[in-house]
Amino acid sequence: MYDTAQDLVFDRVFLRLDGLVPDIRLLLKIEGFNPAGSIKLKTAIGLIEDAERWNLLRPGGHIIESSSGNLGVALSSVCAARGYHFTCVTDPNTSPQNAAMIRAFGAQVVVVDTKDANGGYLQSRIDYIHHRLQQDTSLFWPNQYANEANPRIHRERTAVAILEEVPEVDHLFIGAGTTGTLMGCAAYFRDRSPRTRIVAVDTAGSVTFGFPPGKRHLPGLGTSRRPELCDPELVDDIVIVPEADAVRTCRAIARSQGIAVGGSTGSVLAAVARKGPELPPGSTVVAISPDTGDRYLNTVYNDAWVAEHFGHQALTPSEAGDHPDSDGSLLLKG
């Protein structure tokens, strides 16, 4: 029996995936089985409870935040339960399902369609928030990209759950968006399990780790502006994955395992497969799956959309002997 919807965070659900990489134990940490549908419910709870603790939020307050989708859904859910108003600043890459869910929780959705200097929308979304804050000083911006409450909640919950359920983790693969999950887990494992190799997974075209900007279509991983939270020194390896590989992996997992995973999970599992030849036999690998695939039915799992954005070759599963692509989809550090 649970008292609130926000208590329905299932932090200890792991799916064993055999066959993606031979001779290793691969455990996928499933984060999408909660009312907000993603790992971002923990982030939203952490941001809001931190603001309440410091009296930055009062009853009936108004929160504004930038999100490509999942945090927007999570914040709108928490705000609905706690009586706050919420404005979510999104962009054209945000899925219609996420936007509809945000509105269903009673929040406002603002779409910013002006690209920033790196060809994305993140800085444009943040610029819009700064403009709104100047107009209305009663608004509260949690700023998920710089707020230490973001990694803290994952240090205290996500990382703890992993290590308690899987005491011996050889490699931990984590996608990099705001890098809150990545930084929080990396800090905890550095302290409690320093032998664990932390592998950051980013998408081609993201500037988070200093690589050139490029066009991106999928929300979740990657940024057009490095988050203030990001500290590359906390990770051991960085793997850059083209979106087409993420799409192929999502579709392959759905058809071989019977579970539809989101685009970020596709990137993370593609990174595991690429690094597979370097993993010693018998290794235990944990990969974090931020959300499930139900919000990607019109994109990742839609043949016409995939062919339009990545070509018909993206509809074909990768061959086992494929080599890293020339656009940087390989191990970059370590």
List the structure tokens of 223: 């940024």
Each residue's pLDDT, cut to its tens digit, for the chain (334 residues) gives: 899 988 999 999 999 998 899 999 999 999 999 999 999 999 999 999 999 999 999 999 999 999 988 999 999 999 999 999 999 999 998 988 999 999 999 999 999 999 999 898 999 999 999 999 999 999 999 999 999 999 999 999 999 999 999 999 999 999 999 999 999 999 999 999 999 999 999 999 999 999 999 999 998 899 999 999 999 999 999 999 999 999 999 999 999 999 999 999 999 999 999 999 999 999 999 999 999 999 999 999 999 999 999 999 898 765 433 433 433 344 444 4
Rounded-to-integer distance, Cα 273 and Cα 284, Å: 14
Could you tell me if 272 and 29 are in contact, meaning their C-beta atoms sit under 8 angstroms apart? no
CATH topology of domain 5-33+149-315: Rossmann fold (3.40.50)
List the structure tokens of 43: 């982030």
CATH 3.40.50.1100 in the chain is located at: 5-33+149-315, 40-140
* Of the candidates 211, 157, 164, the residue with the CA atom closest to the CA atom of residue 9: 157
- Helical (H) or strand (E) element with 264: helix 263-275
Residue located via tokens 């906390």? 234
Residue located via tokens 């994952």? 154
Instruction: Kindly report the pTM of this predicted structure.
Output: 0.93
Looking at the domain that runs over 40-140, which CATH code has it been given?
Answer: 3.40.50.1100
